[in-house]
A and B are shown apart, each in its own frame.
Chain A
């Protein structure tokens, strides 16, 4: 789980490298492939760094992963709501977890250590979703940023970054800022080796994660 930031990774401040060999976890629906860089073309995404418009051929798809099972629970299961209790049966029926190993170093926009380099504060990144019905974007601020960065990545590239291209965005969970997460754009899809999907309720790390979060885990 090695992440090097800025100059220690041979990158400008504000960028990071998640090193080859690191294992990440991906939460997904049990019937769906973990290897998915969404949203679908023509679809407006509802995740934090999805394109700020219905996705076109010019927009990268994004695959969201977490460093550990707590981050996965925050981002996929609890999603900012207080859920005092989870059932392993329900979790397994609706959520699976697949481990992905990085086959090469990936270069990321760093929103963990050097957020200010990008002119941002933590609150810009962790703003809650707009739950108002019919709101056009769920996360207007971060979706707007992601759209601009994707455009830069596809055109001039990022100054100081070798090759100018980044593979995605490194960030912290909105719901638990100690949990590091990443959205990899589809230019990095070849950088992942996928393991086998496991029902979330059967994951060996679930009990400890729920304990750490103060969430009761019942059969």
Chain B
């Protein structure tokens, strides 16, 4: 095996021959290499194999970031939050990615005001970002019918958002729609995600699934301060 330090960085990076990059980019690459060395050299073999077995860059980053954070002795809460964010990023990638607001405007051919009104009216799923902006999961939009058309919002998304209400946070709703669901299986038994079922025109089924998940079964129960006393006949109790 060739020792990694016997090679130049340039031989390990898949850059076109003769490619020129800015000094700042080179500095970032060097710093990343140093960071990668520190994390990898302190990780266990199993953790490294888990990272190498990942199938996408985002999945690799998720494992790498966990190694990075765990090597600094973080709090359990920080690890939980990080895992949640990274898993969300991976799910976003697998579902087709996100559009930033300007990308969504361009792809959908609408103004910023229109996009904002769709978001405010609950017609589209908008994921809040760390910088205060919103991003829009691509999977929620219906593909254009012809080459001359553009993607468009699925009218069923509004129904799904209404069904979810506040019982699911928007990130939780996104993850629910992006995950394969047995309840949305095709006649042949193949599991589908909520987004796939929506694209198949089965918005009512997806809405029913979400409503099933979030509907409390005790809507008719007395308020917590009104516990019925023991011994009352059933007809009075309920």
User: Which residue numbers of A lie inside 8 Å of B, CB to CB?
Assistant: 28-41, 43, 45-47, 55, 57, 60-61, 64, 76, 78-87, 89-90, 93-94, 128-129, 131-133, 138, 186-187, 189-190, 194, 197, 216-219
Q: A80 near B87 (CB under 8 angstroms)? A: no
Contact among A33, A90, A133 with B223 in the assembled complex (CB-CB below 8 Å): A33
Contact indicator per residue, chain B 203-227, by CB within 8 Å of chain A (1) or not (0): 0110111001111111111111111
Q: Which of B216, B225, B235 has the most CB of A within 10 A?
A: B216
Q: Can you list 18 pairs linking A and B with CB atoms under 8 Å apart?
A: A29-B221, A32-B222, A33-B223, A33-B225, A36-B222, A38-B238, A39-B220, A45-B217, A46-B217, A80-B183, A81-B176, A81-B179, A81-B183, A89-B169, A128-B183, A132-B208, A216-B83, A219-B77
- Chain B nearest CB from A46 CB (Å) reads 6
Cα A217 to Cα B82 in complex, Å, equals: 11
Q: Are A131 and B208 in contact (CB-based, < 8 A)? A: yes
Chain B residues within an 8 Å CB radius of A30: 224
Main secondary structure of the interface of A (DSSP, over half): loop
Known contacts A79-B212, A90-B168: does B80 contact A216 (CB below 8 Å)? yes
Complex contact A90–B183 (CB within 8 A):
no
| Most interface-central of B175, B181, B217 (chain A CB within 10 A) | B217
Query: Using a Cβ–Cβ cut-off of 8 Å, how many residues does chain B contribute to the interface with A?
Result: 49
Residues of B within 8 A of A128 (CB): 182-183
If A36-B221, A38-B221, A83-B175 touch, whether A216 touches B87 (CB-CB below 8 Å) is yes
User: 6 smallest A-B Cβ distances: which pairs?
Assistant: A40-B220, A36-B221, A218-B84, A131-B208, A32-B221, A82-B179
B residues neighboring A (CB under 8 Å): 77, 80-81, 83-84, 87-88, 91, 166-169, 171-172, 175-176, 179-183, 204-205, 207-209, 212-228, 230-231, 234-235, 237-238
Closest residue to B169 on the A side, CB-wise? A90
**Chain B residues near A39 (CB-CB < 8 A):** 220
The residue from B172, B224, B234 contacting A83, defined by CB atoms under 8 A apart: B172
Q: Is the CB of A78 within 8 A of B167?
A: no
Interchain CB contact under 8 A, A43 and B220: yes
Nearest B residue to A76 by beta-carbon distance?
A: B217
Q: How far is the CB of A96 from chain B (nearest CB, A)?
A: 8
* Given contact pairs A41-B238, A61-B238, A79-B212, a sample of 16 additional A-B residue pairs in the complex whose CB atoms are under 8 Å apart: A28-B216, A32-B222, A33-B223, A36-B221, A36-B238, A38-B218, A40-B238, A78-B213, A90-B167, A133-B204, A186-B237, A189-B230, A197-B224, A216-B80, A218-B83, A219-B80
Give Cα A133–Cα B163 distance, bound, in whole angstroms: 13
